[in-house]
Structure 1
Amino acid sequence: MAGVLNRKSNFLFVHVPKTAGKSVEAMLLDLPGSAGVDLSYAEKARGQYATTSYLERRLTRLSAIEKWTGADRHSGRKQAMWAQLYKFCFVRHPVDRAISAYRYCMRNSGDSSYRQPFGQSLPAGLSFAEFIRLPRGYNYEVMNHFQIPQSEYIRCADTAMDFVGKFENLDEDIAAVAEILKLPLPQLERKNVSATDQNEIVPTAADLDLIAQCFAEDFAQFGYRTE
């Protein structure tokens, strides 16, 4: 998981994978005072993506943020600085996110230079139904872009979000954040878009039931319907 910190404009953006986060990151990084942070690098380096503790430990517990504020962000001035940050993120309907993650992971599965070797490579021709049923920890990219619930990424930030926008209302919600923070944000340029295939992916009833079960917290917390 990545993010953008800005002390000048006093915000933290938490990037939830497959919610247009790369596009938002690129836009925010152009602002004076912005710095990008990778909040999961330590876990990737140690291979903890392949263990249950990867989820239980809430990723890095914002170790990158601690470097920014100092070793102990819970002390005095640093705690106040942390509390004053405007924290926001974007989420997406779990079914649409699963389809986007599938296309993204399959598109990059044959690229040996793409963040390898964090787990087994995805076999060619893997179907969507097979993808969403891969065992947890099979591959870092699958974990990062699909298996970890969006609500988990927000919890890993160890703080409440001031604003949770929706991918479905991306332009309007970004405009709302820009107004709150008084930021001169340009038109959003979409990046890392998973191109639609000629063969449309239509999840089966069993697929939808599985996604609803695995991401029940996301459906409930973010107000998405399971139908």
Structure 2
Amino acid sequence: MIISHKYKYIFIKTTKTAGTSVEIALSKFCGEDDVITPLMAKDEVMRKKQGGMGPQNFEHRRKLSEYYKGDWWRLVTQGKRPKHTLFWNHITAKQIKARISPDIWNSYYKFCFVRNPWDRAVSRYFWNIERDGVQENLDDSLQNNDPNSNFEIYSIDGQVAVDFVGKYENLLADLTTVCEKLDIPFGGELPRAKGTSRKTKKHYSDILSAAQADYIRQKCSQEVELFDYQYAKASQV
């Protein structure tokens, strides 16, 4: 997630939509006052190699009235003042709005990316396997990882809360459109972060059963309708 005071935008990071790649690309143009949330260690290495700015301004020092017993112990024994995390990776629009001034929320350009819900669910399934090192059942993955979780990130009270929703399927063009609007000197270089977790080239329709596809359709009905996503067979692509 990025809040750029330099270019006056808020990038809300959804899951499995190349958000880390977008974050790395945008962090090259951030200023010292901008909010940048941390990535996984290997992604921070990529960000550094790409010349992007690392995590900053996502925490604030706790007031003395906010200290817990352990905070006082660390202050006395280690000289460390405790910090409070204000912003994190997949923080929701509602949480961001509650943590910034109304002027910033209302005037900054807010954007995010979405992805075909069926393809995203399969991507999440393979990502979980790589991250946890455990072979998870696909039915369990769908039950444990709400396919509609992204809508909850960029909406407030059931309404889309951003100014622009780009599509993963049109990622580079949509990001370029955003950068042109904001006068960000983006040159089209988009790193491929977290792009190796899917160990098969099979189309999502060759992986999902009819019941699983229907479950995703029902859970993600808002995104399907809003962004005209279709469940396509591999032969139709």
Any idea what SS the aligned residue of 2:12 has? strand
Structure 2 vs 1, CA of residues 148 and 198 (structure 1 numbering), >3 Å: closer, same or farther? Answer: closer
Aligned counterparts of 1:159 and 1:147: Cα–Cα separation in 2: 17
Q: Match of 1:12?
A: 10
Q: Deviations over 1:104-148 (max 9, x none)?
A: 0111113xxxxxxxxxxxxx33232332134xxxxxxx3xxx544
Using the TM superposition, give the Cα deviation of residue 198 of structure 1 relative to its aligned residue in structure 2, in angstroms: 4.3
Using the TM superposition, give the Cα deviation of residue 156 of structure 1 relative to its aligned residue in structure 2, in angstroms: 4.6
Aligned counterparts of 2:209 and 2:147: Cα–Cα separation in 1: 18
Query: Identity percentage over the alignment?
Result: 29
Mapped contact 1:103–1:194 kept (Cα < 8 A): no
Aligned counterparts of 1:168 and 1:99: Cα–Cα separation in 2: 15
Q: One-letter code of the match for 1:149?
A: S
Q: One-letter code of the match for 2:113?
A: F
Q: Match of 1:26?
A: 24
Of 208, 221, 227, 1:222 maps to: 227
Any idea what SS the aligned residue of 1:132 has? helix
Of 179, 184, 191, 1:189 maps to: 191
Q: TM-score, normalised by structure 1?
A: 0.67
Any idea what SS the aligned residue of 1:178 has? helix
What are the ranges of 5 or more consecutive residues in structure 2 without an aligned counterpart?
Answer: 39-58, 60-90, 233-237
Q: One-letter code of the match for 1:62?
A: Q
Q: Deviations over 1:188-220 (max 9, x none)?
A: 111111433248362111110111011111111
- Does residue 133 in structure 1 map to residue 139 in structure 2? no
Q: Match of 1:46?
A: none
- Does residue 61 in structure 1 map to residue 61 in structure 2? no
Using the TM superposition, give the Cα deviation of residue 5 of structure 1 relative to its aligned residue in structure 2, in angstroms: 0.5
Aligned counterparts of 2:162 and 2:103: Cα–Cα separation in 1: 16
Using the TM superposition, give the Cα deviation of residue 29 of structure 1 relative to its aligned residue in structure 2, in angstroms: 1.6
Q: Match of 1:91?
A: 114
Structure 2 vs 1, CA of residues 224 and 9 (structure 1 numbering), >3 Å: closer, same or farther? Answer: same
Aligned counterparts of 1:169 and 1:60: Cα–Cα separation in 2: 23
Using the TM superposition, give the Cα deviation of residue 159 of structure 1 relative to its aligned residue in structure 2, in angstroms: 6.9
Any idea what SS the aligned residue of 1:211 has? helix
- Provide the aligned C-alpha RMSD in A: 2.7
Mapped contact 1:219–1:226 kept (Cα < 8 A): no
Any idea what SS the aligned residue of 2:3 has? strand
Q: Larger C-alpha radius of gyration, 1 or 2? A: 2
Matches within 5 A, 1:156-171: 156=156, 160-171=161-172
Q: Match of 1:117?
A: none
Using the TM superposition, give the Cα deviation of residue 30 of structure 1 relative to its aligned residue in structure 2, in angstroms: 1.7
Q: Match of 1:104?
A: 127
Any idea what SS the aligned residue of 2:36 has? strand
Q: Match of 2:77?
A: none
Structure 2 vs 1, CA of residues 214 and 185 (structure 1 numbering), >3 Å: closer, same or farther? Answer: same
Aligned counterparts of 2:208 and 2:222: Cα–Cα separation in 1: 20
Q: One-letter code of the match for 2:198?
A: T
Moved over 6 A (4+): none
How many residues are treated as equivalent by the alignment? 174
